Structure 1
Amino acid sequence: MTSDAERRLQQRGVSIQDEPDVIGGVTVEPVDGAVAELPPYLDRQDELAAGDVRGQGAMALVVSPEGIVLHLRDDKSWIPHPGCWSLFGGAVEDGENPDQTIVRELWEELHLTASEYRPLWRVVDAEGDGRLLTVFEVVTSMLPADMVLTEGQGLRAFSRDEALRQRLAPFCRRVLDRYPGCSGIR
């Protein structure tokens, strides 16, 4: 049976094999519907809220040689966090786990092949659509100017401090508050 995610990728001409999946040239091994090792919750409030979530998502904290790459979300009232800077990613679709979702979403949103990524935290997007998000760190040598943005109003690389001065999606702000990895970039 073909999942919704597989059908959508096949329609876009992305190669899909039965096992393992190949998305944007990256082999993604199925992991029984879950991340191989679940990362910790960002903090206690996320752990407590996780029982009342409305689905799952996967988000990428993309780190390029120029800094943390964020995208400016569309200013549409029906989407979570309109007009805010945020991480890249989206909903876990039927038949996917968060690892597969982050690879698919980065290919769809940036044409970025996520070959090096690691789960950081799980966080509930309480102010958005209520999903339990698995946040991944994705380190790439690709510069933002070479990324192909397909969703949102724009993308830009920031130092961590610069990013924290922007209008951010609340979950994104909480993640960047805790993320020490890029404080020295730029």
Structure 2
Amino acid sequence: MHGAVAIVANHRGELLMHLRDAYPHIAWPAHWSLLGGQSEFDEKPIDTIVRELQEEAGLQVESLTELFDIHDVDGSKQLVTFFSSIWEGDVSDLVLTEGVKLQFFDPAYLRNLVIPPFIRDGIHRYLTIRTLPQPSHS
């Protein structure tokens, strides 16, 4: 099994986090995570994340960068491909169809959230390699 998640950041460097439902039958119930999910059939990870962003939140991003894979050994048991993107929209405009809430957080605040270990690892890896958009000087 394979999955895909997206680290979506805004120009301030805040990350979009997704509070998962508390259903006991899902992986990582009531945890803050990233938008994403499981691949269907022979779907490529890029197609999975585009579909999942649309299905879970009505979110369409302009571009996605494939980052790395991490194995979720404690939850879904899937190999998960991480992607990154920049999105400058308003979270209140998104239509959440899965989970409880979407919210942007400053990365320093993430230590206060309950996050699956593999997601926390992926975010940490992302933060060490990311480059923030530079403000334009007109």
Superposed pair shares fold, TM > 0.5: yes
Asked which structure has the greater CA Rg, the reply is 1
Deviation at residue 164 of structure 1 after TM alignment: 2.6
The runs of at least 4 aligned residues of structure 1 exceeding 3 Å deviation read none
In 1, Cα distance between equivalents of 2:126 and 2:45: 20
Asked whether the 8 Å contact 1:164–1:176 carries over to 2, the reply is: no
- Deviation sequence 1:54-111 (CA, Å, 0-9, x none): x100111111246100111101111000110001101111131001011000000111
- The aligned counterpart of 1:120 is 67
Count the aligned residue pairs.
129
- The aligned counterpart of 1:140 is 87
In 2, Cα distance between equivalents of 1:101 and 1:114: 14
Cα distance, 1:65–1:149 mapped onto 2, change above 3 Å: farther
Moved more, 121-130 or 169-178: 169-178
TM-score, structure 1 normalization: 0.65
TM-score, structure 2 normalization: 0.87
Between the two structures, name the one with larger relative contact order (CA 8 Å, sep ≥ 6): 2
Identity of aligned residues (%): 36
In 1, Cα distance between equivalents of 2:61 and 2:45: 13
Question: For structure 2, which runs of at least 5 residues remain unmatched after alignment?
Answer: 133-138
In 1, Cα distance between equivalents of 2:38 and 2:60: 18
Question: For structure 1, which runs of at least 5 residues remain unmatched after alignment?
Answer: 1-54
Pairwise CA RMSD of aligned residues? 1.6
Cα distance, 1:118–1:167 mapped onto 2, change above 3 Å: same
Structure 2 residue corresponding to 1:170, chosen from 86, 96, 117: 117
Cα distance, 1:177–1:171 mapped onto 2, change above 3 Å: same
- The aligned counterpart of 2:7 is 61
Deviation at residue 182 of structure 1 after TM alignment: 8.0
